[in-house]
């Protein structure tokens, strides 16, 4: 499936071991599918520098985030925070995160999660980077920590949004952007996202795969592997466009322009058949 317009995948765990055997081919297929840029997610003190190194191999096509996911919150002490701050100066690192709270799995103590999240919100404010956020079953504490930053609160995107309309409206009122994945293609758990995306205003919506997770269930024919990849982002685009009643090409260009502005992507590589202006 090829996108009808340029696309940016704002969240792809491309350093995951499932891509080790064919990462170059994954990138080539992404380009053929119409993607013009990928933001490689950093989620730990190990994966964040790896994401930055990977992004540096193809700087026109790849950027990276640097952060510590709530699952790894216990590892973030003063030394680790200093490492993250150093990473934010890497030319390919465009955001702080993936960071936030996850009370669903509770793989780190909640007190550690809150401490690590607060530290990364402060880091983003200090460095001028936007936040790439994760939240699951922790809405009240998540919002409280962001609001506590006050006027210093950085720009932020609620990555892989799976909540309801009320939650989305609270995020939007706080100035957050919303990232939508293949969860919207899941007829079992994602139908409510069709209503959510109808109410996200222009300039606040972005698209992502969160690969290798969240393979769109609507893909036909179904891939032999359950591994998600950027080449399947056009399926997410199609689902969001249907829900919003918009032309896919217009939505592709709008979400790409939003990602370009949000992450400060100075230049986007042109995909075949597209012409996207440089910032």
pLDDT digits (tens, 9 = 90+) for 73-103: 999 999 999 999 999 999 999 999 999 999 9
pLDDT at residue number 269: 61
pLDDT digits (tens, 9 = 90+) for 184-224: 999 999 999 999 999 999 999 999 999 999 999 999 999 99
d(CA 254, CA 260): 10
d(CA 261, CA 39): 13
d(CA 175, CA 185): 26
Average pLDDT, the chain: 95
What sign does the dihedral 9-10-11-14 (CA atoms) show?
A: positive
In the structure, what pLDDT confidence band is assigned to residue 271 with cuts at 50, 70 and 90? very low
pLDDT at residue number 272: 45
Question: Is 80 exceeded by the pLDDT of residue 276?
Answer: no
pLDDT at residue number 37: 98
Average pLDDT over every residue of 233-252? 98
CB 184 within 8 A of CB 193: yes
pLDDT digits (tens, 9 = 90+) for 151-195: 999 999 999 999 999 999 999 999 999 999 999 999 999 999 999
Chain centre distance of CA 50 = 17
Neighbours of 195 (CB within 10 A): 12
CB 6 within 8 A of CB 252: yes
Give me 191's structure tokens. 């139908």
Instruction: Give the chain's domains with CATH numbers.
Output: 7-263 (3.20.20.140)
pLDDT at residue number 94: 98
d(CA 261, CA 149): 22
CB 102 within 8 A of CB 71: yes
pLDDT at residue number 268: 73
In the structure, what pLDDT confidence band is assigned to residue 52 with cuts at 50, 70 and 90? very high
156-158: strand order across its sheet:
7-12, 35-40, 62-66, 93-102, 131-136, 156-158, 177-180, 205-207
CB 238 within 8 A of CB 255: no
Average pLDDT over every residue of 244-261? 98
pLDDT at residue number 1: 80
pLDDT greater at residue 1 or residue 147: 147
Nearest to 141 by CA among 108, 103, 174: 103
Q: How far is CA 228 from CA 12, 70, 71, 82, 220, in A?
A: 9, 22, 21, 33, 14
Question: Is 60 exceeded by the pLDDT of residue 144?
Answer: yes
Place of tokens 């918009």: 246
In the structure, what pLDDT confidence band is assigned to residue 270 with cuts at 50, 70 and 90? low
Question: Is 50 exceeded by the pLDDT of residue 60?
Answer: yes
Question: Is 60 exceeded by the pLDDT of residue 274?
Answer: no
* Coil, helix or strand at residue 71: helix
pLDDT at residue number 279: 33
pLDDT at residue number 48: 98
Chain centre distance of CA 152 = 22
pLDDT at residue number 121: 98
Contacts of 4 (CB under 8 A, 6+ apart): 34, 234, 247, 248, 249, 252
């Amino acid at each position: 499936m090829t996108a009808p317009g340029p696309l940016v995948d704002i969240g792809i765990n491309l350093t995951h071991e499932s891509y080790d055997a064919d990462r170059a081919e994954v990138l080539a297929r992404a380009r053929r599918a119409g993607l013009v840029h990928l933001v490689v997610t950093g989620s730990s003190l190990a994966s964040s520098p790896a994401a930055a190194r990977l992004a540096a191999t193809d700087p026109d096509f790849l950027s990276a985030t640097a952060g510590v996911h709530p699952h790894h919150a216990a590892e973030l002490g003063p030394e680790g925070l200093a490492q993250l701050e150093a990473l934010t100066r890497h030319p390919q690192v465009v955001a702080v995160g993936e960071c936030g709270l996850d009370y669903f799995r509770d793989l780190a103590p909640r007190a550690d999660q809150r401490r690590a999240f607060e530290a990364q919100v402060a880091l983003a404010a200090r460095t001028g980077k936007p936040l790439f956020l994760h939240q699951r079953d922790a809405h009240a504490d998540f919002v409280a920590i962001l609001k506590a930053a006050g006027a210093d609160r950085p720009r932020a995107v609620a990555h892989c949004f799976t909540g309801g309309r009320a939650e989305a409206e609270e995020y939007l009122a706080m100035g957050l952007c919303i990232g939508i994945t293949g969860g919207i293609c899941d007829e079992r758990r994602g139908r409510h996202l069709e209503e959510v995306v109808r109410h996200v205003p222009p300039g606040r919506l972005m698209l992502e795969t969160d690969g290798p997770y969240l393979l769109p269930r609507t893909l036909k024919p179904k891939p032999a592997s359950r591994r998600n990849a950027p080449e399947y982002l056009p399926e997410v685009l199609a689902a969001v466009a249907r829900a919003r009643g918009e032309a896919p090409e217009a939505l592709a260009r709008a979400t790409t322009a939003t990602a370009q502005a949000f992450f400060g992507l100075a230049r986007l590589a042109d995909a075949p058949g597209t012409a996207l202006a440089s910032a």
